[in-house]
Amino acid sequence: MSEPGSPRRQPRPLIVPFRRLAQANVAVVTGLSVVSALVLGAVLIVVTTPSVLHVLGHIGSHPGRALGLTGASVGDAYWAMFSGAIVSPSALGHVLSTGHGWVTLFTPLSETLVAATPLVLAGLGVAIGFSTGVFNIGAQGQLIAGALAALYVGFEVKLPIGIHAPLVVLAGAAGGAAAGFVPGILKARTGAHEVITTIMFNYVMLNLLDYLLSVSPFQQPGQSNAISRTMPATARLPHLFGSGLRVNAGLLVALALVAGATWFTRRSTLGFSFRVIGLNPNAGKTAGIDARRVTVLVLTLSGALAGLAGTASLAGTDFFLSSGYGGNIGFDAITVALLGRNRPTGVLFAGLLFAALDVGGRNMQAVTGIPLDLASVSQALIVMFVATPVLVREIFRLRGSAAASLQLSTGGWGG
């Protein structure tokens, strides 16, 4: 397929010293997409901050002051984002000078890993769907189903430490799988399009959660609010680096599944049949692959991963459920999968980046008062740029034909 937007003449690369880098490979395009998104985010900060707009109005008389204040407001925001998500220089200084405060130093990183865990898990599920031509928008509902199942096994079953938590994780996967199976079987049996059914199931699950949170056995006894019972200590995922840092075994589950998914898609027979159906359903059917069975399996598997996402945050950090549990994780998983180009390792890095933006955004809101939603705006912009490598190439005048192969595809409605 030719690229409709490809320029007729090869533009000269803007970054001449890095001629080899200027080839539009995946990493460069992704990096430049992040930069472009952050620049647009900076513009958004400037045009919505009255004090900055005010001084920019007088840029003719006080150019230095105007630019200084503009730079400071943007710089402060992004600095707060960085120090909230990766490492805070003041904490580093404290550790270097006193030798204490390691927990404070690693807290931002730990929080980013904690936030990344469910994003990666749910993102893997969505990605497996995408690469098979199944569009699962129901990660949110499946996440809730998984968390409910995990919570039930958590408080209802009495088991010793070491056995309980793995069982809870399995229950979470099973709950999510069940919630993914339903739209899968509906699609296979009746042809009901999964885009519709999975979206509708999100709302069904949100309401079901609201109901269960208000009745026994899920509701916290003695509470009139919609709050669930808490996970007993035996059912919680253990911390990895001591109780001061919230990063927990959920991260290991996510990493293991990234590795597992890589093996699955590349090496296993079932994964191969998934890919074939995703690339060309007709060829798959001709080769004797049961496309309906694949649809059911993919949605079930996708649901199981979303269920694990819910379990990881429930058993790892939150320990109870409340109304609207999971927030936007289900939808962010879609953008994470897209940014990760539906590949397991890609999803891992995309999840880490999105988590860093979210966690950093929280710090930015606390420090500078700029709303956290800037993070989600940036995330959307990043994916937009990544999905449009030709546009990035044009903006930065990159050379190279590799960009064409970066095009992502979900395969449309599929029929």
Backbone phi, psi, residue 326, to 5°: 95, -20
336 sits near another protein (criterion: CB under 8 A): no
- Residue 221 as a binder of another protein (CB under 8 A): the answer is no
d(CA 227, CA 154): 15
Find the binder of another protein among 21, 192, 279, 291 (CB under 8 A): 192
Of residues 295 through 334, those in contact with another protein by CB under 8 A are 331-332, 334
Stretch of 60-68, 70-78, 100-108, 387-395 contacting another protein, by CB under 8 A:
387-395
CB distance 395 to 36 below 8 Å:
yes
Candidate residues 19, 86, 203, 324; the one interacting with another protein per rule CB under 8 A: 203
- In whole angstroms, give the CA distance from residue 123 to residue 354: 11
412 binding another protein? (CB under 8 A): yes
Q: Which of 35, 109, 178, 204 binds another protein (CB under 8 A)?
A: 204
Q: Which residue has the tokens 């990760």?
A: 340
Say whether the peptide bond before residue 17 is cis (omega within 30 degrees of 0). no
Minimum CB–partner distance for residue 105 and another protein (Å): 30
Q: Judged by CB under 8 A, which of 70, 112, 132, 197 binds another protein?
A: 197
Q: Which x/- pattern over 126-145 shows residues binding another protein (rule: CB under 8 A)?
A: ---------x-x--------
Closest CA to 25 of 409, 407, 406, 336: 406
Residue identified by tokens 């580093």 is 92
**Shortest distance, CB of residue 12 to another protein, whole angstroms?**
21
Binding mask 25-64 for another protein (x = CB under 8 A): -------------------x---xx---------------
Min dist. Cβ of residue 137 to another protein (A):
8
What is the greatest pairwise CA distance in the chain?
75
Q: Are 125 and 183 in contact (CB under 8 A)?
A: no
Among positions 214, 230, 234, 280, the unique one binding another protein when judged by CB under 8 A: 214
Q: Considering only 83-91, 108-116, 312-320, 383-391, which stretch makes contact with another protein by CB under 8 A? A: 383-391
d(CA 411, CA 187): 16
User: Is the separation of the CB atoms in 147 and 326 below 8 Å?
Assistant: yes
Instruction: Find the binder of another protein among 117, 136, 335, 363 (CB under 8 A).
Output: 335
**Does residue 199 interact with another protein by CB under 8 A?**
yes
Interface residue with another protein among 111, 186, 229, 301 (CB under 8 A) is 186
User: Is there a contact between 400 and 122 (Cβ–Cβ < 8 Å)?
Assistant: no
Query: What is the DSSP annotation of 62-117?
Result: -HHHHHHHHHHHHHHHHHHHHHHHT--HHHHHHHHHHS--HHHHHHHHHHHHHHHH
Cβ proximity to another protein, 113 vs 381, nearer residue: 381
Any contact of residue 190 with another protein (CB under 8 A)?
yes
Query: Least separation, in Å, of the C-beta of 283 and another protein?
Result: 17
Q: Does 377 bind another protein (CB under 8 A)?
A: yes
> Cα 218 from chain centroid?
28
202 in contact with another protein (CB under 8 A): yes
Contact 9, 394 (CB under 8 A): no
* Binding of residue 17 to another protein (CB under 8 A): no
**How many C-alpha atoms does 18 have within 13 Å on its Cβ side?**
11
Instruction: Report phi then psi at 230, rounded to 5.
Output: -95, 155
- Taking contact as CB under 8 A, which single stretch among the options 99-107, 216-224, 232-240, 368-376 is the one that binds another protein? 368-376
The answer to whether the beta carbons of residues 321 and 147 sit under 8 Å apart is yes
The verdict on 359 binding another protein (CB under 8 A) reads: no
Least Cβ distance, residue 373 to another protein (angstroms):
4
23 is a contact residue toward another protein (CB under 8 A): no
∠ CA 233-235-236, nearest 5°, is 70
Where do we find the tokens 């190439």? 393
For another protein, the binding residues (CB under 8 A) are 1-5, 44, 48-49, 135, 137, 186, 189-193, 195-197, 199-204, 207-208, 210-211, 214, 331-332, 334-335, 338, 370-371, 373-377, 379-381, 383-384, 387-388, 390-391, 407-413, 415
